[in-house]
């Protein structure tokens, strides 16, 4: 199983969370198995998201999708995300 770690900053966590929740179906249909959201200890708008995916190819395809880019813009992501793809050891 593949994982994807995404780190980014948002303007307003509450506004971001509404959009994040609204695209859950798209994430699941793209191969997401599970997700976790973490706040930075010193900045609640600095987020780390850890996703499990059914395949690395689906995680990479999702990360490059126009739908994701549009959702991030609507959600107020205010800096380019750092995306890391991981394989379980």
Count of all residues that appear for the chain in the document: 89
The beta-carbon contacts of 69-75 under 8 Å, at least 24 apart in sequence, are 71/19, 71/20, 71/22, 71/23, 71/26, 72/8, 74/19, 75/10, 75/15, 75/16, 75/18, 75/19, 75/20
Whether residue 20 has pLDDT greater than 90? yes
Residue with tokens 């813009």: 73
> Half-sphere exposure (CA, 13 Å, Cβ side) for 24?
9
Yes or no: domain 2-87 corresponds to CATH 3.30.70.100: yes
- 72-89 residue pLDDT tens: 999 999 999 999 999 888
Predicted TM-score (pTM) of this structure: 0.93
């Amino acid at each position: 199983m593949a994982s994807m770690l995404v780190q980014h900053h948002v303007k307003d966590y509450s506004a971001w969370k509404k959009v994040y929740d609204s695209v859950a179906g798209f994430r699941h249909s793209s191969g997401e198995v599970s997700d976790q959201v973490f706040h930075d200890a010193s900045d609640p708008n600095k987020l780390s998201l850890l996703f499990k995916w059914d395949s690395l190819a689906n995680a990479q395809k999702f990360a490059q999708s126009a739908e994701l880019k549009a959702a991030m813009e609507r959600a107020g992501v205010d800096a380019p995300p750092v995306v890391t793809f991981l394989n379980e050891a």
